[in-house]
Structure 1
Amino acid sequence: MKPFTVLELLQKAPSILETVEIKGWVKTFRANRFIALNDGSSLNNIQCVVDFEKFDESLLKRITTGAALHITGELVESQGKGQHVEIMVSTLHILGDSNPETYPIQPKKHSFEFLREQAHLRTRTNTFSAVMRLRSALSFAIHKYFNEQGFYYMHAPIITGSDAEGAGEMFRVTSLDPKNPPLDEKGDVDYTLDFFGKETKLTVSGQLEAETYAMSLGKVYTFGPTFRAENSNTSRHLAEFWMIEPEVAFLDLDGNMDLAEDFLKYILKYLLDHHEEDLNFLDKRQQDEDKTKPQAERNEMGLIEKLKFVTENHFMRLSYTEAIDILRNSKPNKKKKFKYIITEWGADLQSEHERFLVEKHFKSPVILFDYPANIKAFYMRLNDDGKTVRAMDILFPGIGEIVGGAQREERLEVLKQKMAAINIPEAELWWYLDLRKYGTAVHSGFGLGFERLVMFATGMGNIRDVIPYPRTPQNAEF
Structure 2
Amino acid sequence: MTQINVAEILAKGKVLQEITINGWVRTFRSNRFIALNDGSTIHNIQCVIDFENTPEEILKRITTGAAICVKGILAESQGKGQSVEIQVAEIEILGDSNADEYPIQPKKHSFEFLRENAHLRVRTNTFSAVMRVRSKLSFAVHKYFQENGFNYVNTPIVTGSDAEGAGEMFRVTSFEDNKAPVTEEGKIDYSKDFFGKETNLTVSGQLEAETYAMGLGKVYTFGPTFRAENSNTTRHLAEFWMIEPEVAFMDLDGNMDLAEDFIKNVLGDVLENCKDDLEFLDQRLSQEEKSKPQAERSEMGLIEKLKFVTENNFKRVSYTEAIDILRNSKPNKKKKFQYLINEWGADLQSEHERYLVEKHFKCPVILFDYPANIKAFYMRLNEDGKTVRAMDVLFPGIGEMVGGAQREERYDVLLEKMKAMNIDEKELWWYLDLRKFGTAVHAGFGLGFERLVQFTTGMANIRDVIPFPRTPQNAEF
TM-score norm. by structure 1 comes to: 0.99
Tell me the CA shift for residue 423 of structure 1: 1.0
Q: Deviations over 1:379-405 (max 9, x none)?
A: 000000000000000000000000000
1:250 equivalent to 2:249? Answer yes
- Match of 1:308? 307
Amino acid at match of 1:193: K
Tell me the secondary structure at the aligned position of residue 103 of structure 2.
coil
Whole-angstrom CA distance in 1 between matches of 2:176 and 2:417: 36
| Residue 32 (str. 1) matches residue 3 (str. 2) | no
Report sequence identity in percent.
Answer: 76
What does 1:29-428 align with in structure 2 at a 5 Å threshold?
A: 29-428=28-427
CA contact (8 A) 2:403 2:446 kept: yes
Aligned to 1:441: 440
* Letter aligned with residue 318 of structure 1: V
CA displacement, residues 213-250 of structure 1 (integer Å, 9 cap, x when unaligned): 00000000000000000000000000000000000000
What is the identity, as a one-letter code, of the residue corresponding to 1:85?
V
1:395 maps to a residue whose letter is: L
2:2 alignment partner, SS class: coil
Distance 1:161 1:178 in 2: 21
Q: Match of 2:7, SS?
A: helix
Residue 436 of structure 1 aligns to a residue in which SS? Answer: coil
Q: Do 1:155 and 1:223's aligned partners in 2 also have CA atoms closer than 8 Å?
A: yes
Q: State the SS of the aligned residue for 2:208.
A: helix
Residues 405 and 444, structure 2, Cα contact 8 Å, conserved in 1: yes
| Contact 1:379–1:408, Cα closer than 8 Å, also in 2 | yes
Structure 1 CA distance for aligned equivalents of residues 127 and 462 of structure 2: 13
Q: Give, in angstroms, the shift of residue 8 of structure 1.
A: 0.6
Provide the residue aligned with 1:456 in structure 2: 455
Deviation, 1:108, is: 0.2
Asked if residue 10 in structure 1 is aligned to residue 10 in structure 2, the reply is yes
Instruction: Determine the C-alpha separation between the residues in 2 that align with 1:394 and 1:71.
Output: 49
Out of 176-185 and 94-103, give the one that drifted further.
Answer: 176-185
SS in 2 for 1:242: strand
Shift of 1:210: 0.2
Q: Secondary structure at the match of 1:11?
A: helix
Residues 32-72 of structure 1 show CA distances to partners (whole Å, capped at 9, x for unaligned) of 00011000001010111100122110111000000000110
CA distance in 2, matches of 1:23, 1:418: 60
Q: Distance in 2 between matches of 1:356 and 1:144?
A: 33
Letter in 1 for 2:331: P
Structure 1 position 10, deviation (Å):
1.0
Q: CA deviation at 1:12?
A: 2.1
Is the 2:169–2:227 contact (alpha carbons within 8 Å) kept by the matching residues of 1?
yes
Contact 1:69–1:92 under 8 Å retained in 2: yes
Q: Is the Cα–Cα contact under 8 Å of residues 48 and 88 in structure 1 kept in the other structure?
A: yes
The one-letter code matched in structure 2 to 1:195 is F
CA distance in 1, matches of 2:254, 2:378: 18
Q: Which amino acid aligns with 1:10?
A: L
- Partner amino acid for 1:415? L
Contact 2:332 2:341 in 1 (8 A): yes
Aligned equivalents of 1:280, 1:35: Cα separation in 2: 24
SS in 1 for 2:73: strand
Amino acid in structure 2 at the alignment position of 1:205: S
Cα distance between partner residues in 2 of 1:170 and 1:129: 32
8 Å Cα contact 1:249-1:441 kept in structure 2: yes
Deviations 1:311-358 (A, max 9, x none): 000000010000000000101101101000000000000000000000
Partner AA of 1:142 in structure 2: V
Measure how far apart 1:425 and its partner are.
1.2
- Aligned-partner Cα distance in 2 for 1:33–1:257: 58
Does structure 2 conserve the Cα–Cα contact (< 8 Å) formed by 1:379 and 1:415?
A: yes
The one-letter code matched in structure 1 to 2:340 is I
Give the distance between the partners of 1:121 and 1:131, measured in 2 at CA.
14
1:56-113 per-position Cα deviation (integer Å, ceiling 9, x unaligned):
1011100000000011001111111111111111111100000000000000000001
The secondary structure found in structure 1 opposite 2:99 is coil
Amino acid at match of 1:377: A
Q: Aligned partner of 2:60: which letter?
A: K
1-structure distance, mates of 2:325, 2:422 = 35
**8 A Cα contact 2:318 2:369, kept in partner:** yes
Which whole-Å CA distance do the structure 2 matches of 1:132 and 1:296 have between them? Answer: 30
Give the SS at the match of 1:420. Answer: helix
State the Cα distance separating 1:2 from its structure 2 match.
Answer: 3.4
Partner Cα separation in structure 1 for residue 13 and residue 158 of structure 2? 52
Give the secondary structure class of the aligned counterpart of 1:132.
helix
Partner-residue secondary structure (3-state), 2:250 = coil
> Is 2:75–2:85's contact at 8 Å kept on the other side of the alignment?
yes
Question: Which amino acid is the alignment partner of residue 5 of structure 2?
Answer: T
Shift of residue 180, structure 1, vs aligned partner: 1.8
- SS at the partner of 1:419? helix
Partners of 1:300 and 1:398 within 8 A in 2: no
RMSD in angstroms over aligned alpha carbons? 0.6
- The residue identity in structure 2 corresponding to 1:3 is Q
1-structure distance, mates of 2:155, 2:53 = 59
> Do the aligned partners of 2:409 and 2:442 also contact (CA within 8 Å) in 1?
yes
Q: Which runs of 5+ in 1 are unaligned?
A: none
Matched residue of 2:72: which SS? Answer: strand
Alpha-carbon offset, residue 13 of structure 1:
2.9
Q: Is the 8 A contact 2:2 2:18 kept in 1?
A: no
Deviations along 1:267-312, one digit per CA (max 9) or x if unpaired, are 0011111111000000000110111111122112100000000000
Measure, in 2, the Cα distance between the counterparts of 1:148 and 1:456.
24
Q: Is the 8 A contact 2:157 2:202 kept in 1?
A: yes
Q: Residue 178 of structure 1: CA displacement?
A: 2.0
3-state DSSP of counterpart to 1:35: strand
Deviation at 1:205, TM superposition (A): 0.1
Question: Structure 2 counterpart of 1:5, which letter?
Answer: N
Q: Which 4+ stretches in 1 moved above 2 angstroms?
A: none
One-letter code of the match for 1:271?
A: V
